[in-house]
């Protein structure tokens, strides 16, 4: 394995997005994952391409970022996404003033919303319950993460990046204030001496940082998704209430993906997966779409949100920012390493851009980011995406029904 200019640790959306961005700027990058690509949160997420509406009132800046990035992905990501639109629905008993608050907040962020009467909402989703009191349309969508990461991998490789799944980082040597060597195990079994290191290891970013003697305080939370048989749900369904368990239903061609929960996790490699989370997700989502209560369960899985919360660990998951944080470890006396944590699948490209801007500044690369303007290579070719997913062992559970089936 060659010595890269930049070693990217973590083959989720963020890491592979960083590799694509670096490659397009002419920087020689290698991305490694300890497992297959997409094996972390990215391949185990709910798969909502956020319009920003979910966060409009609580985090307008994050919402605007989602809106902008969802628009970019609709332009560049072809068959990696589905532009389904979304509905926010409040039911009798839900706080009506919250519906109003969200609608106003969406408008002030610039998210286009259209208010619908309950009968109009039922024209779009006939099986909505009779308890619907308010509804609005928002430009949410669906993202297929295995495909999205594969398209980023195709583009990155085509521009010179090396992609190495099953190559865990085992140790990082720091001398005189800089990373000098990184030991890779698994199928790589080698030591590399990169000029710069990007830590994009998601919920494991704290563990990777520790290898370099650094502290990155992660506060991951787990969430469950349950996929059930359901034909023909058009838009994403969101319950219009303050974020809680079981308030989003994601449409797939013959499934509905229900979720989710948020439970703090101490050890990202050893955490409980509790049946109550499955039960509560089905029960709550059935309030939005009653037939899912009795629908056959096809699969369920958990993912870990890579939340960064240095001083908020004790407060539990939902209050912690979903925004991303770029940690320049030059501030901790390791001059050639950056960690990129938090954020969302929807904003992975922006996270990569912010990271690569810093790296390029340090290694003396003047090229500008072009990832928002160039279609992802292969994104319109499902067969090529499927082959790439297989080649990099990149199949996550979120879109297991999509890959190989279209
Ligand atoms: C339950 C849940 C639902 C979510 N729903 C949504 C949603 O609907 N929409 C949305 O936009 N976002 C959603 N998210 C958030 C989103 O999934 C994540 O923010 C995003 O995928 C993080 O990507 P990442 O690449 O930073 O991390 P990850 O995808 O976790 O990638 C990190 C990678 O690092 C690797 N790694 C760890 N240690 C090492 C090592 N020592 N050496 C090499 N590699 C290593 C891991 O194997 C992993 O593949 C959800 C998250 C969860 C958990």
pLDDT at 263 over 70: yes
Tell me what pLDDT residue 404 has.
81
Look up the CATH number of the domain holding residue 210. 3.50.50.60
Q: Which residue is closest in CA terms to ligand 1's atom 44?
A: 33
Q: Which tokens sit at 248?
A: 């989003």
- Residue 221 pLDDT class (50, 70, 90 cuts): very high
pLDDT in tens, 179-210: 999 999 999 999 999 999 999 999 999 999 99
Compute the residue count for the chain.
Answer: 406
Helix, strand, or coil here: 380? Answer: coil
Together in a domain, 173 and 212 = yes
Distance 305 CA to ligand 1 centre (A): 6
Tell me what pLDDT residue 311 has.
57
Give the Å distances, CA to CA, from 64 to 6, 103, 109.
30, 14, 6
Contact 152, 16 (CB under 8 A): yes
pLDDT in tens, 96-119: 999 999 999 999 999 999 999 999
Together in a domain, 227 and 101 = yes
Full domain range(s) for residue 186: 6-43+145-218+315-391
Give the whole-angstrom CA distance, residue 395 versus residue 39: 7
Distance 101 CA to ligand 1 centre (A): 30
Average pLDDT value for residue range 388-401: 97
Q: Which of 249, 275, 305 is the last residue of a domain?
A: 305
Contact 372, 76 (CB under 8 A): yes
Q: Which of 305, 332, 365 is the last residue of a domain?
A: 305
pLDDT in tens, 335-370: 999 999 999 999 999 999 999 999 999 999 999 999
Together in a domain, 123 and 156 = no
Q: Which of 285, 305, 325 is the last residue of a domain?
A: 305
Is the CB–ligand 1 distance for residue 52 below 6 Å?
no
Is the CB–ligand 1 distance for residue 18 below 6 Å?
no
Is the CB–ligand 1 distance for residue 350 below 6 Å?
no
Is the CB–ligand 1 distance for residue 10 below 6 Å?
yes
Give the whole-angstrom CA distance, residue 119 versus residue 126: 9
Eight-state DSSP code of residue 52? S
Tell me what pLDDT residue 1 has.
82
Q: Which of 344, 389, 395 maximizes ligand 1 atoms within 8 Å of its Cβ, making it the mutation to test the pocket?
A: 344
Q: What's the burial of 294, exposed, middle or buried (CB within 10 Å: 0-12/13-18/19+)?
A: exposed
* Total number of domains constituting the chain: 2
pLDDT in tens, 292-303: 999 999 999 999
Contact 23, 369 (CB under 8 A): no
């Amino acid at each position: 394995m060659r010595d890269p200019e930049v070693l990217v640790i973590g083959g989720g959306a963020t890491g592979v997005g960083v590799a694509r961005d670096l490659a397009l700027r002419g920087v020689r990058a290698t991305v490694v994952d300890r497992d297959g690509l997409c094996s972390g949160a990215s391949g185990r997420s709910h798969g909502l391409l956020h319009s920003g509406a979910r966060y409009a009132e609580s985090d307008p800046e994050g919402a605007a970022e989602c809106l902008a990035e969802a628009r970019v992905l609709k332009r560049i990501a072809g068959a990696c996404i589905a532009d389904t639109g979304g509905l926010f629905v409040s039911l009798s008993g839900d706080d009506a003033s919250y519906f109003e608050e969200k609608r106003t907040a969406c408008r002030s962020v610039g998210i286009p919303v259209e208010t619908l009467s309950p009968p109009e909402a039922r024209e779009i989703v006939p099986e909505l319950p009779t308890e619907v009191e308010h509804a609005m349309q928002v430009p949410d969508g669906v993202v297929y993460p295995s495909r999205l990461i594969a398209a980023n991998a195709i583009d990155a490789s085509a521009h010179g990046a090396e992609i190495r799944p099953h190559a865990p980082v085992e140790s990082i040597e720091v001398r005189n204030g800089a990373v000098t060597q990184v030991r890779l195990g698994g199928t790589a079994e080698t030591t590399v001496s990169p000029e710069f290191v990007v830590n994009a290891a998601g919920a494991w970013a704290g563990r990777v940082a520790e290898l370099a003697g650094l502290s990155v305080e992660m506060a991951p939370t787990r969430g469950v998704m349950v996929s059930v048989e359901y034909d023909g749900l058009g838009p994403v369904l969101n319950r219009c209430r303050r974020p809680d368990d079981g308030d989003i239903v994601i449409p797939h061609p013959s499934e509905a993906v229900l979720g989710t929960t948020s439970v703090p996790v101490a050890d990202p490699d050893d955490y409980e997966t509790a049946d109550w989370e499955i039960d509560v997700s089905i029960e709550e989502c059935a309030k939005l779409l009653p037939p899912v209560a009795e629908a056959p369960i096809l699969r369920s899985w958990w993912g870990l949100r890579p939340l960064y919360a240095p001083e908020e660990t004790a407060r539990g998951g939902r209050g912690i920012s979903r925004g991303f944080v770029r940690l320049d470890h030059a501030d901790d006396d390791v001059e050639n390493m950056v960690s990129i944590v938090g954020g969302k699948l929807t904003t992975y490209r922006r996270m990569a851009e912010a990271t690569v801007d810093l790296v390029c500044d340090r290694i003396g690369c003047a090229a500008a980011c072009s990832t928002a303007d160039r279609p992802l290579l292969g994104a319109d070719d499902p067969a090529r995406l499927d082959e790439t997913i297989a080649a990099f062992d990149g199949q996550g559970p979120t879109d297991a029904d999509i890959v190989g089936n279209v």
